[in-house]
Every structure is written in C-alpha cells, then in structure tokens.
Amino acid sequence: MVEAREQWNPGSTTGAWEDGDIVNTMLKRNWLGTLAEICLIVIISASAGLAWNWTLLTGAWRGEVTQQAVAVAAESATATGDALPMPIGLMQVKELHDAKEAVIVDARNAASFAEGHIAGAIIMPVEEARRNPSFPSDAQVTKDSTIIAYCNGYSCPDSMEVAKLLMQAGYSSVYVYEGGFPEWRDAGYAIAKGAK
C-alpha cells in the first residue's frame, strides 16, 4: 500500500498543495490569526477612546452637563427661537387648576371654545396669538405666571404653537397639556360652555 504524501506539484494549474487538508489547516490558522488581530485592534481603539474622553465620560456618568453643551443649547434656543414648552399631564393640570396657580389657555377656535372648554380657561386661538401673543389686561397675567395651553388633544398642534408664541413673547413658564379638552372632559372635570 502506497502512503499518501503531501507534495507540492509545481506543474499544477492551481499552484496549491495536492492534499486539501493542508490548505484547510492553513486557512483555519489565518482565520484565527485575523480574528485575533481584529480583537486586538478593537481593544486598543476602545482603550485609546476611553483614555482620550475620560473626563467627559465620568462627568456624563455623574449626570453633569458640560459648559459647552449648555452654551450651545442656550445659543441655539435664543438664536432660532426654538425653545419648546414642556408637556404637562392631566393630574398636574388638575392640581394647578384647582389651586388657581396657573393660567389655562384654550388654543382652539371660538366655535370649539363655545361648545365646551376647561372652566376658567382664556381663549387664544392660533390666529390671534400669531397677531398678538399677549393677554387682555383684565386677565392679570404676568410674564412669570404659569401658563398651560391646550387644544383638541394629542393630534392637535395648536396648543404647541400658541405656547411657543407665548414663550417668544417673554412668558417664561409655559406648558402644553397634550391630552387637551377631550382628556379633561372624559375625566369628568369641570367644563364650561359659552363664549366666556
């Protein structure tokens, strides 16, 4: 019986070992070596990145805001007027309404307001707010009063627009009640009808 030996066949068209086991063994070694090199590169890169950004990362883990981020956010909000009012939920609105600690603004049109609105709300439709984002003098609303704008619920953008206009006009504590009149009415809270 003739023993199978690995021989290099220089006349072969592929120029490879005739025995396929050697080729497979070499590929496995190369694959493992390549994988080891990739892992080493990733570890070195991650270590360098962590070392370079150490103070930034430790500050973020502690919840600190960088001075650069504060400056950029403030500059962006004042330059473009993009400061957004914060959303507020039903229970918070109810508490502020009952304690009379907030001015409630209805951003819907006059017909919707007359059909029903949160008791004590002041009407300020979007069209009116675009022309003059201020309150009647008898409303006694100061620039630091808590203001809550609402409209017809989550799908209605009017309250957000009115709230933004009020913020641009200098009112500092403006919120948007996204649930709006439908959520308030369905909760069974006080509503009023009519033009006032």
Question: Is a pLDDT exceeding 50 seen at residue 80?
Answer: no
The residue-averaged pLDDT of 38-66 equals 85
CATH of domain 84-192: 3.40.250.10
Question: Is a pLDDT exceeding 50 seen at residue 87?
Answer: yes
Question: Is a pLDDT exceeding 90 seen at residue 18?
Answer: no
The residue-averaged pLDDT of 126-143 equals 83
**pTM value?**
0.59
Which pLDDT belongs to residue 34? Answer: 85
- Rounded to whole angstroms, how far apart are CA atoms 114 and 108? 10
The residue-averaged pLDDT of 86-91 equals 93
Local confidence band at 32 (pLDDT 50, 70, 90 cut-offs):
confident
Which pLDDT belongs to residue 79? Answer: 46
pLDDT in tens, 164-179: 999 998 898 999 999 9
- Rounded to whole angstroms, how far apart are CA atoms 19 and 34? 24
Question: Is a pLDDT exceeding 50 seen at residue 1?
Answer: no
DSSP the chain: -PPP---B-TT-SS-SBSSHHHHHHHHHHHHHHHHHHHHHHHHHHHHHHHHHTHHHHHHHHTTPPPHHHHHHHHHHHHHHT---PEEE-HHHHHHHHHTT-SEEEE-S-HHHHHH-EETT-EE--HHHHHH-----GGG---TTSEEEEE-SSTT--HHHHHHHHHHHTT--EEEEETTHHHHHHHTT--EE-S--
Question: Is a pLDDT exceeding 60 seen at residue 44?
Answer: yes
- Mean pLDDT, the chain, rounded, equals 82
Answer for the pair 182, 158: CB distance below 8 angstroms, yes or no: no
Percent of the chain surpassing pLDDT 90: 48
pLDDT higher at 31 or 17: 31
The residue-averaged pLDDT of 87-106 equals 94
What is each CA distance from 49 to 61, 64, 90, 153, 168, in whole angstroms? 16, 20, 45, 46, 41
Q: Region of 15 please: left (phi>0), alpha (psi -120 to 50) or beta.
A: left
Which pLDDT belongs to residue 7? Answer: 53
Question: Is a pLDDT exceeding 60 seen at residue 3?
Answer: no
Which pLDDT belongs to residue 72? Answer: 57
Question: Is a pLDDT exceeding 60 seen at residue 192?
Answer: yes
Domain ranges of the chain: 20-61, 84-192
